[in-house]
């Protein structure tokens, strides 16, 4: 997985930081989390094509997290996108997209499907799956976790043959971790033909939220947590009132969730030098970094 930060500012863009957007590349597919205004330009600057296979995940319906979506769709139209596009997000997203694209005559010329995200499994492919959990913000906010590289375990053709499982679809089902029924009425479970399961690697993106137990559970043991840190602890009261986190609060989430690494994003423009946020977080959690636009991170299977 390759992770590209396309926007790390909170509410107000700055000369150095665009509004919220993080793109993850998993086995040739792009997963875009949030789409602040100007995201399509950030993609072009980062040499990322808007016409590749893609899914978009919106955390919540605040402008700095989705005003870039109609513009990105229009850019895709102008670039003759042919791949279908799947967009996930909280209730109200469909109405927003319909109103903005229809009123500006920029309806997608490609297949666009909208899905209402909810807690638990949001979507799954052969390469990865995406889980969701509600945060605690001033409007419903869905945090997302991407898990890739996991496996139900190595398939044993020898064990399958011994159990009388023919080559073909039944073996494929077992490889995918699903039980099968044989022609003679016997039920075979994956554990009977699979080795030890392989744990995948995972990345969590929070959107806007106070520190919550739900996100701690979602992030448990993750390789990377990308957590908002809008304010320093000097403004902890304001952060709580507005449904945001301080850098210290984000660090406590990382520590309690036992994640390997923490990236701080969604920074208020009041911090031209974000080192104050990084230093605050490091008092709680050591492996932390304030991220920057166009910074690239990699996770291998």
- The series of mean pLDDT values per 10 residues for the chain, 301 residues long, is 96 95 95 97 96 97 96 95 96 92 90 93 92 95 94 85 91 86 90 85 96 96 97 95 96 97 97 94 96 94 70
Candidates 3.40.50.1820, 3.40.50.620, 3.40.190.10, 3.60.15.10; correct CATH number of 2-150+199-298? 3.60.15.10
Q: Is 27 a catalytic residue?
A: no
For residue 33, the model assigns a pLDDT of 98
Q: Which of 34, 64, 208, 293 is catalytic?
A: 64
- Give the span between the Cα atoms of 36 and 63, in whole angstroms: 7
| Residue pair 232/246 in contact by the 8 Å Cβ criterion | yes
Q: What is the maximal distance between C-alpha atoms in the chain?
A: 70
**pLDDT value for 175:** 83
Residue 174, both tokens: 């077992």
Distance (Å, whole) CA 22 – CA 65: 11
pTM of model > 0.85? yes
* Listed residue (262, 228, 235) closest to 136, CA to CA: 228
pLDDT at residue 176 in the model: 76
Separation between Cα atoms, residue 298 and residue 148, nearest integer Å: 13
Question: What pLDDT, on a 0 to 100 scale, did the predictor assign at position 106?
Answer: 87
Cite the residue boundaries of each domain of the chain with CATH code 3.60.15.10: 2-150+199-298
Please identify which residue in the block is written with the tokens 């769709």: 73
For residue 88, list its beta bridge partners: 57, 115
Task: Give every CB contact of residue 30 below 8 A, 6+ residues apart in sequence.
Answer: 23, 24, 48, 52, 53, 54, 55
- 4: CB partners within 8 A, 6+ apart: 22, 23, 24, 25, 46, 48, 294, 295, 296
3-state secondary structure of 226: strand
Instruction: Assess contact for 288 and 274: CB atoms under 8 A.
Output: no
């Amino acid at each position: 997985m390759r992770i590209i930060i396309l926007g790390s500012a909170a509410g107000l863009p700055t000369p150095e930081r665009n509004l919220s957007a993080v793109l993850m590349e998993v086995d040739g597919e792009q997963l875009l989390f949030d789409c602040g205004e100007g995201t399509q330009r950030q993609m072009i600057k980062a040499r990322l094509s808007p016409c590749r296979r893609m899914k978009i995940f919106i955390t919540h319906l605040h402008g700095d997290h989705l005003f870039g979506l109609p513009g990105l769709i229009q850019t895709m139209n102008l670039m003759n996108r042919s791949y279908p596009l799947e967009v996930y997000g909280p209730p109200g997203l469909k109405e927003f997209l319909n109103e903005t694209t229809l009123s500006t005559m920029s309806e997608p010329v490609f297949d666009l499907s909208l899905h209402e995200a909810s807690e638990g499994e949001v979507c799954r492919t052969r390469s990865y799956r995406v889980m969701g959990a509600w945060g605690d913000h001033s409007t419903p906010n869905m945090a997302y976790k991407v898990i890739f590289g996991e496996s139900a375990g190595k398939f044993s053709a020898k064990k399958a043959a011994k159990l009388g499982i023919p080559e073909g679809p039944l073996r494929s089902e077992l490889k995918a971790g699903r039980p099968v029924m044989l022609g003679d009425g016997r039920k075979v479970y994956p554990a009977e033909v699979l080795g030890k399961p392989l744990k995948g690697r995972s990345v969590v993106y929070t959107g806007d939220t106070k520190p919550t137990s739900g996100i701690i559970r979602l992030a448990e043991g993750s390789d990377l947590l990308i957590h908002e840190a809008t304010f320093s602890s000097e403004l902890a009261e304001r952060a709580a009132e507005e449904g945001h986190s301080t850098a210290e609060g984000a660090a406590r989430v990382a520590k309690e969730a036992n994640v390997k690494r923490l990236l701080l994003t969604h920074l208020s423009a009041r911090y031209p030098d974000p080192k104050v946020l990084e230093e605050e977080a490091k008092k709680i959690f050591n492996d932390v970094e304030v991220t920057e636009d166009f910074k690239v991170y990699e996770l291998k299977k």
